Amino acid sequence: MLPDATLSADPATTLAASPATDQGANPVANPATLTDALQSLEHVFGYTAFRPPQDEIIATLLDGGDALVVMPTGGGKSLCYQLPALLRPGCAIVISPLIALMQDQVDALTQLGVRAAFLNSSLAPQDAHAVEQAWLSDQLDLLYVAPERLLQPRMLELMEQVSPALFAIDEAHCVSQWGHDFREDYLQLSVLHERFANVPRIALTATADERTRQEIAQRLGLEQARHFVASFDRPNIRYRISLKDNPRAQLLRFLRDEQSGNAGIVYCLSRKRVDETAAWLADQGFSALPYHAGLASDVRERHQRRFLREEGVIIVATIAFGMGIDKPDVRFVAHLDLPKTVEAYYQETGRAGRDGEPSDAWLVYGLQDVITLRQMLQQSQGSEDYKREEQRRLSAMLGLCEITTCRRQALLQYFGEALSEPCGNCDNCLTPVETWDGTEAAQMALSAVYRTGQRFGVNHLIDVLRGVENDKIFSNDHHQLPTFGVGQALDARQWRSVFRQLVARGYVSVDMNRYGALVMQESCRAVLRGEASVDLRKDPKPSAAKRTTKTALPEHIDIGLFEALRECRRELAEEQGIPPYIVFHDRTLHQICERRPQTVQEFAAISGVGDRKCEKYAEAFLEVVRREAGTS
| 553 falls within a domain | no
The confidence score (pLDDT) of residue 512 equals 62
Res. 19: pLDDT tops 50: no
Query: Within this chain, do residues 386 and 259 fall inside the same structural domain, yes or no?
Result: yes
| CA quadruple 278, 279, 281, 282: dihedral sign | positive
Alpha helices by DSSP H, listed for 265-422, are 271-283, 297-309, 342-349, 367-378, 384-402, 407-414
> DSSP assignment of 563-626, as one string?
HHHHHHHHHHHHHHTS-HHHH--HHHHHHHHHH---SHHHHHTSTT--HHHHHHHHHHHHHHHH
Sorted by sequence, the CB contacts under 8 Å of residue 352 that are 6+ apart come out as 237, 264, 265, 330, 331, 332, 333, 359, 360, 361
Considering only CA atoms, which of 174, 230, 213, 222 is closest in space to residue 194?
222
Query: Within this chain, do residues 20 and 136 fall inside the same structural domain, yes or no?
Result: yes
The confidence score (pLDDT) of residue 98 equals 77
Cβ-contact 589, 311 below 8 angstroms:
no
Sorted by sequence, the CB contacts under 8 Å of residue 45 that are 6+ apart come out as 79, 112, 608, 610
Res. 17: pLDDT tops 70: no
The confidence score (pLDDT) of residue 16 equals 35
Query: Within this chain, do residues 269 and 354 fall inside the same structural domain, yes or no?
Result: yes
The confidence score (pLDDT) of residue 106 equals 93
The confidence score (pLDDT) of residue 449 equals 95
Boundary (domain end) residue, out of 229, 263, 278: 229
Query: Within this chain, do residues 441 and 425 fall inside the same structural domain, yes or no?
Result: no
The confidence score (pLDDT) of residue 323 equals 57
Boundary (domain end) residue, out of 201, 229, 257: 229
Q: What is the pLDDT of residues 494-526, one digit of tens each?
A: 998 899 889 888 889 887 666 678 999 998 999
Query: Within this chain, do residues 360 and 450 fall inside the same structural domain, yes or no?
Result: no
The CATH number of whichever domain residue 273 belongs to comes to: 3.40.50.300
Res. 59: pLDDT tops 70: yes
Q: What is the pLDDT of residues 342-379, one digit of tens each?
A: 988 998 999 999 888 999 999 999 888 888 888 787 77
Domains contained in the chain, number: 4
The confidence score (pLDDT) of residue 217 equals 93
| 545 falls within a domain | no
pTM: 0.74
Q: How far apart are CA 261 and CA 258, in angstroms?
A: 9
**Could you tell me how far CA 392 lies from the centroid of its own chain?**
21
pLDDT higher at 16 or 87: 87
| 548 falls within a domain | no
The confidence score (pLDDT) of residue 220 equals 92
pLDDT cut 70: percent of the chain above it: 90
Q: Residue 241: in which H helix or E strand, if any?
A: strand 237-243
Q: What is the pLDDT of residues 283-292, one digit of tens each?
A: 999 999 999 9
Query: Within this chain, do residues 251 and 217 fall inside the same structural domain, yes or no?
Result: no
**Angle CA 264–250–509, to nearest 5:** 100
Res. 598: pLDDT tops 90: yes
Q: What is the pLDDT of residues 83-108, one digit of tens each?
A: 999 999 999 999 988 777 788 889 99
| CA quadruple 221, 227, 229, 230: dihedral sign | negative
Q: How far apart are CA 186 and CA 176, in angstroms?
A: 9
Query: Within this chain, do residues 469 and 607 fall inside the same structural domain, yes or no?
Result: no
The confidence score (pLDDT) of residue 1 equals 27
| Residue 378 dihedral angles phi and psi, to the nearest 5° | -65, -30
Cβ-contact 379, 326 below 8 angstroms:
no
Considering only CA atoms, which of 404, 403, 438, 446 is closest in space to residue 533?
438
pLDDT higher at 118 or 188: 118
Boundary (domain end) residue, out of 369, 403, 430: 430
The confidence score (pLDDT) of residue 64 equals 94
Q: Residue 135: in which H helix or E strand, if any?
A: helix 125-136
Res. 165: pLDDT tops 60: yes
Query: Within this chain, do residues 474 and 426 fall inside the same structural domain, yes or no?
Result: no
Res. 256: pLDDT tops 80: yes
Average pLDDT over residues 169-175: 89
Q: Please list, residue by residue across 110-132, b when 16 or more beta carbons sit within 10 angstroms of its beta carbon and e when fewer do.
A: bbbbbbbbbbbebbeeebbebbb
| CA quadruple 100, 252, 238, 207: dihedral sign | negative
Mean pLDDT of the chain, nearest integer: 86
Helices 342-349 and 384-402: crossing angle, nearest 10°?
A: 60
Considering only CA atoms, which of 77, 326, 346, 398 is closest in space to residue 237?
346
The confidence score (pLDDT) of residue 515 equals 67
| 549 falls within a domain | no
The confidence score (pLDDT) of residue 208 equals 78
Res. 134: pLDDT tops 90: yes
* Burial classification of residue 133, based on how many CB atoms lie within 10 Å of its CB (0-12 exposed, 13-18 middle, 19 or more buried): exposed
Furthest-apart CA atoms within the chain: distance in Å: 90
Query: Within this chain, do residues 225 and 297 fall inside the same structural domain, yes or no?
Result: no
**Angle CA 435–436–440, to nearest 5:** 145
The confidence score (pLDDT) of residue 366 equals 86
Res. 546: pLDDT tops 50: no
pLDDT cut 90: percent of the chain above it: 57
* Burial classification of residue 13, based on how many CB atoms lie within 10 Å of its CB (0-12 exposed, 13-18 middle, 19 or more buried): buried
- Coil/strand/helix, residue 508: strand
Query: Within this chain, do residues 201 and 53 fall inside the same structural domain, yes or no?
Result: yes
**CB neighbourhood size of 41 (10 A):** 23
Residue type at 490 in one-letter notation: L
Res. 69: pLDDT tops 50: yes
| 554 falls within a domain | no
| 282 falls within a domain | yes
The confidence score (pLDDT) of residue 15 equals 34
The confidence score (pLDDT) of residue 388 equals 81
Pairing of strands 263-267, 314-317: parallel
Q: How far apart are CA 465 and CA 628, in angstroms?
A: 69
**Could you tell me how many residues make up the chain?**
632
Q: How far apart are CA 194 and CA 185, in angstroms?
A: 16
Q: How far apart are CA 301 and CA 281, in angstroms?
A: 20
Average pLDDT over residues 592-612: 93
Query: Within this chain, do residues 295 and 308 fall inside the same structural domain, yes or no?
Result: yes
Res. 23: pLDDT tops 50: no
**Could you tell me how far CA 212 lies from the centroid of its own chain?**
17
Query: Within this chain, do residues 292 and 422 fall inside the same structural domain, yes or no?
Result: yes
The CATH number of whichever domain residue 596 belongs to comes to: 1.10.150.80
Question: What is the residue range of 82's domain?
Answer: 5-229
